[in-house]
Amino acid sequence: MGSLSRTVVALLVVPAGLLVGSAAGETSSAAPPQLVLVQPRAGLAAAAESVRDAGGRVELSAHGHLQALVPGDRVAELERDPNVGDIAPAPLASADAVTSGGVARIGADALHSEGLQGAGVRIVVLDTAFGNLDRLNSLAGTELPTVPADHRASFDHTYGLAGRDYNSNYSAHGEEVAEILYDIAPAAEYWFVNYRTADEFGEAEQYVESIKPDVVVHSNSFLFGPFDGSGWFAKKVDRAAADNPTSSSTRIRFCSARSTAAAGLRRRSIARLRTEFSGLTRRATTA
């Protein structure tokens, strides 16, 4: 082998050894920094200087102590520093578990514990606006019920199922109502229906009647008189409830925010509403 060949081999071998050493060095990473509270033994200034000597950084001073970010492998050393009285991990906030605000409040958790989650119950969300329709799909099965296309109907001839609020602004009120209902009755069958004007409400009411639902949640209103249950809208709601079957297998609950219905709902106790829902789910389960 010539001298040039031996030189090339040497160049190939020596860097290989250096690379092995370099890789070994990369595997020994320093301990991650720790966020700690430093209680000074004497003064804050002296304790802050000790933090910096340990390679740390003081982030803030509050309530007589320091909050500092300190290299993990230097924390024990800092704790022994004569200027430091005590060191403790800084309390960190964490996200709470996502819990429905309504389930326990109305006692539905007791029904859930019995396996009653609305299976077999037909629920219509009748509203003016469901907002971003992509969210109805992306949140289905997690925050919202899964509602297929043939369970969605819009009688809003201007904006469709997305709808708008009274002032023609964006609104997702129907989505928000559906989220609460889904928390309470996740196993129910759902429909999304919307309207905007009085005439469209009439069309929507006829469609809802054809579904023969057990529950219709209509948390909207036409806030003008006579406020005694004799108006056109009140009669539409009353007829929808009266025209549906009242057998033991299904009874409609038309929950409307119009004045007379709202007053009736206020007179009912939560226990009564809970009992009615329980009855519906029990009958649906045994049917």
**Whole-number pLDDT of residue 261:** 36
Residue 244: the pLDDT is 62
User: Do 69 and 35 contact (CB within 8 A), yes or no?
Assistant: yes
Please, what are the domains in the chain? 34-89 (3.30.70), 108-286 (3.40.50)
Q: Give the pLDDT confidence score for residue 88 in this predicted structure.
A: 94
pLDDT for 241 equals 72
| pLDDT value of residue 102 | 75
The reply to whether the predicted model has a pTM over 0.85 is: no
Structure tokens at 81: 């520093």
pLDDT at 105: 83
93 three-class SS: coil
Q: Which residues of the chain have pLDDT under 50?
A: 4-27, 245-276
For residue 66, the SS3 value is strand
What pLDDT was estimated at residue 8? 40
User: What is d(CA 275, CA 283) in angstroms, rounded to the nearest whole number?
Assistant: 12
The whole-number pLDDT of residue 26 equals 47
Q: Give the 3-state secondary structure percentages of the chain, helix then strand then coil, rounded to 5.
A: 45, 20, 40
Q: Are 222 and 257 in contact (CB under 8 A)?
A: no
pLDDT of 97 reads 61
Amino acid at 82: P
Q: What is the CA radius of gyration of the chain?
A: 33
Alpha-helical segments (H) within the chain? 3-27, 44-53, 75-79, 108-113, 133-138, 173-184, 198-211, 232-243, 259-267, 270-286
Angle ∠(249,251,255) on CA atoms, nearest 5: 150
